[in-house]
Amino acid sequence: MSETPELETKRLKREVLIRIIKAFMSDNFAENVRLIPYDMRPKGSEVPFRCCVYKERAVLRSRTIAGLGFAMEDDDERTLLSDFANRALERKRPESEPLTVLQNACKGCPSARVFVTELCQNCVAKPCMKACRFGALDSNGNRAVIDNTKCKRCGLCMTACPYHAIVKTIVPCEEACPVGAIAKGEDGLAYIDSQKCISCGKCVSACPFGAPHAKSQVIDILKHIKQGREVIAMFAPALIGHLPCKPEQVQDAFLKIGFSAVYEVAQGADITAKTEAKDFKERLDQGQPFMTTSCCAGYNELVKKHLPEIKPYVSDAKTPLYYTAEIVKKEHPNAVTVFISPCFAKRREVLDNPNINYLMSFEELGAVLIALGIEIDAGSEKEFSYQSSKEAREFALSGGVARSVQAAWKGDENAIKPVLINGLDKTAIRNLKMYANTGKCAEGNLIEVMCCTGGCIAGNACLGIVKEAQKKVSDYGNQGQSLKTAGEKRND
Amino acid sequence: MDKIKVKICRGTTCFVMGGDVIKSISDTVKEKYGDKVEIETVRCLKMCQSANAFSAAPYVYIDGTIISSANVEKVVNVLESKLNK
């Protein structure tokens, strides 16, 4: 999370979550949930963002519904928030689709188009008209005008104009989505097509109104903790970069929340690294030209929904979460397992894996800590019983997965040529498609794919800034033993 | 002239509500104002303790002034107005 407009919408989402959790901890959950929009915007309060206090409350009501884990499609606008709160308590299984759009938070931005501004000088040469291949430009006598029925939004007129008088407007969510899954509907508001959506959450970060929203499972998780069930936290390696405390204090924070045990998903990352190195060796021996990594949930969804042709090249190694959950379920067969995640995309993986019950994002974890008044920096220090390797700890950095495969590699080191796809956008997807269709990748042979630019430490549900997180994760990594040197001592 | 003291809260509440980004001003402030300003991160300014004060986190203390819902822009503005007094 950098200093971008999204900070303001993230703060709003977090405040709503904190209030939901506080309400859950109180003796009147339903009523206190009902009051959230009024507590946040009481009578006579300032109206910081919207047209009036009523609109502010309506949007906050929607955020509360999503925070309780429901889709906006479920809202008939006449159900009380207290009823939603009760429904959340009764729910046996969380929602399948991770994301929803809060229609009343959506501005219904103007459609993406190319637009001639008043800076147009109506020049004699008219390079814009000459540049256009679709005959979409004309002059109305004062300035150039674009016929939107003909315009293909190629942008050639923009580059041709010597005054930079032509601009392209975008719809932030549509522009951010790498797979065209979010688009304005006939009513002008954004809708997500779940058949296409890979849950990467780029729309959530892109929308300056905070309309796309994750459906939280936090109440489901806290419910199990309150009931005294054995609930186990498995946290992603990126978390170390997103808490203001030492890595050794992380366990204490989870235990204070009420989790009964804490596992580092880095433990499973060690297994992923070794399995992937072995898999890669076999593939190279068989003459396969390249292999891609398989741990990014956004990428795995992309392969399933949009890029099946690359499937034969995707490593068969399972994700670090998969192996960790397997270990946890072996050691605690009756436990409720929760993955602590930097992103929403993992929701699909959690849903499909019977060993994992729920997902709590870093944002939600932060909200729980605040609601429960836990000062993590003051917690006691405890080492993990399993010491994860340097490479496993750095799995969350762009390049980290490739480095782990290199460290676990047994054989000629020069045989591995990593290619980093650092952020899945339309261009990256086009490249992947080309590799799959031609069966060639000129840049290298081990393609590491990370959906978020910077790696999992830049996930869309993270708390801190990427630069700081990178430093903390690397520091923690450097305290660990490398897979290269530890390989022999560990039980493979 | 006395140094202007800036205390950035790195408590859990301030961090979760977006405080991490404020630390990034340290380098630019040092570059621009040298030793006229002293920046430190402190465990908790205790501003978030009362009922719903978490919603106005992160907090930053500058020379007797508490900035709520702090961001880089606000901190720099207050800092400059104090320096130009």
Question: What is the length of chain B?
Answer: 85
Tokens found for residue A245: 């405390």
pLDDT at B59 over 60: yes
Residue A175 lies in a domain: no
Q: Are residues A315 and A418 in the same domain?
A: yes
Answer whether residue A1 is part of any domain: no
Instruction: Say if residue A165 is in the same domain as residue A228.
Output: no
* CB distance A339 to A355 below 8 Å: no
Residue A276 domain flag: yes
Tell me the pLDDT of chain A averaged across its residues: 94
Same domain, A95 and A204: yes
Domain match, A225 and A282 both: yes
Asked if the C-beta of A4 comes within 8 angstroms of chain B's C-beta atoms, the answer is no
One domain, residues A204 and A300: no
Instruction: Please indicate if any CB of chain B lies within 8 Å of the CB of A244.
Output: yes
In a domain, A244, yes or no: yes
Strand A291-292 relative to strand A446-450, pairing: parallel
| CA atoms of A328 and A232, how far apart (whole Å) | 8
Beta-ladder partners of A465: none
How many other CB atoms are there within 10 angstroms of residue B67's CB atom? 21
Alpha carbon A298 to its chain's center = 8
Nearest residue on chain B to A369, alpha-carbon basis? B12
Show residues of chain B in contact with A1, CB under 8 Å. 18, 20-21
B7: number of Cβ within 10 Å: 17
Distance CA A158, CA A177 (A): 23
Domain end, chosen from A148, A180, A215, is at A215
DSSP 3-state of A444: coil
Contacts of A375 in chain B (CB under 8 A): 11-12, 43-44
Tens-digit pLDDT profile for residues A28-80: 999 999 999 999 999 999 999 999 999 999 999 999 999 999 999 889 999 99
* Residue A187 is assigned to a structural domain of this protein: no
Note whether A150 and A233 are same-domain residues: no
Residues B75-85: tens digit of each pLDDT: 989 988 888 87
Report the Cα–Cα distance between both ends of chain A, in Å, rounded. 37
φ/ψ region of A108 (left if φ > 0, alpha if ψ in -120 to 50, else beta) reads left
Per the domain annotation, does A454 fall within a domain?
A: yes
Cβ burial A318-354 (10 Å sphere, 16+ → b, else e)? bbbbbbbbbbbbeebeebbbbbbbbbbbbbbbbbebe
Q: What is the pLDDT of residue A4?
A: 52
Confidence at A486, pLDDT banded by 50, 70, 90: low
Asked whether residue A121 falls in the same domain as residue A100, the answer is: no
Which helix (H) or strand (E) is A16 found in, with range? helix A6-25
One domain, residues A87 and A140: no
**Phi-psi category of A155—alpha, beta or left, where left has phi over 0 and alpha has psi -120 to 50?**
left
Tell me the backbone φ, ψ of residue A365, rounded to 5 degrees.
-60, -45
Which CATH architecture does the domain made up of B4-83 adopt? 3-Layer(aba) Sandwich (3.40)
Chain A residues within 8 A of B26 when measuring between CB atoms: none
Q: Using an 8 Å CB-CB cutoff, list chain A residues near B17.
A: 11, 14-15, 370
How much is the average pLDDT of A408-433?
A: 95
Distances (CA, A) of A439 to A287, A430, A432: 11, 14, 10
Residues A336-341 have a mean pLDDT of: 98
- The greatest distance separating any two alpha carbons of chain B, rounded to the nearest whole angstrom, comes to 39
**pLDDT for A95 beyond 90:** no
Tell me, what CATH number does A379's domain have?
Answer: 3.40.950.10
Give me the domain span that covers residue A20: 6-105+193-215
CATH of the domain at A152: 3.30.70.20
pLDDT value, residue A395: 96
Q: Do A468 and B13 touch (CB under 8 A)?
A: no
Q: Which residue has the higher pLDDT, A335 or A92?
A: A335
Percent of chain A with pLDDT over 70: 98
Instruction: Tell whether A142 and A202 lie within a shared domain.
Output: no
pLDDT in tens, A166-210: 999 999 999 999 999 999 999 999 999 999 999 999 999 999 999
Q: Which two tokens stand for residue A413?
A: 């080191």
For A135-176, the pLDDT digits (tens) are 999 999 899 999 999 999 999 999 999 999 999 999 999 999
Q: Quote ipTM for the complex.
A: 0.91
Structurally, chain A folds into a number of domains equal to 3
Q: What is the pLDDT of residues A452-480, one digit of tens each?
A: 999 999 999 999 999 999 999 999 999 99
> How far A159 CA sits from the closest chain B CA (Å)?
34
Number of H helices and E strands in chain B, helices first, is 3, 4
Instruction: Looking at the structure, tell me whether residues A11 and A82 fall in a common domain.
Output: yes
Across the interface, do B20 and A244 touch by the CB < 8 Å criterion? yes
Residue A444 in this model has a pLDDT that exceeds 60: yes
Distance to chain B for A132, nearest Cα, Å: 42
Residues of chain A with Cβ-Cβ distance to B23 below 8 Å are 468
Peptide bond preceding B58: is omega within 30 degrees of 0, i.e. cis? yes
* Residue A153 and residue A55 share a domain: no
Domain contains A176: no
Do residues A301 and A353 share a domain? yes
